[in-house]
Amino acid sequence: MSSAVPIDLFVEDHAHEALLVPLIRRIASEEGVDVVLRVRSARGGHGRAIDEFRVYQRLLEKGAILNSPPALIVVGIDGNCVTFAKKRCEIQGATQTAFQDRAVAACPDPHIERWFLADP
């Protein structure tokens, strides 16, 4: 494997982090990609995850974050019985143009707890 690919994660709570971190690591492993996952926000709910994502992008653009810029930014918020398309649009609306090509929406529907219950 070559140098590690940085992936930053913004999620609304610990449950999202507990599911997405191992999922991303597994996918990366299966693809033969070494990743460095950096959880940037994992507490405080949906609004805080989106707000911190916005602030983070501004800091990246200003060069205020010293470590390497992310190859991917995963933003995980619950669907809350709204369509995935609407939640993805919400995340895209919070994503600055410079980061549109690397922002990934992870929106469990209706919520992350259902995904945990579905795991056999």
What are phi and psi for residue 105, nearest 5 degrees? -90, 130
pTM of the predicted structure, to 2 decimals: 0.87
Residue 90 has pLDDT above 80, yes or no: yes
Non-local CB neighbours of 115 within 8 Å, separated by 6+ positions = 19, 108
> What span, in angstroms and rounded, lies between the C-alpha atoms of 41 and 62?
19
pLDDT, tens digit (0-9, with 9 covering 90-100), for 29-70: 999 999 999 999 878 888 888 999 999 999 999 988 877 889
Domain residue spans of the chain:
8-118
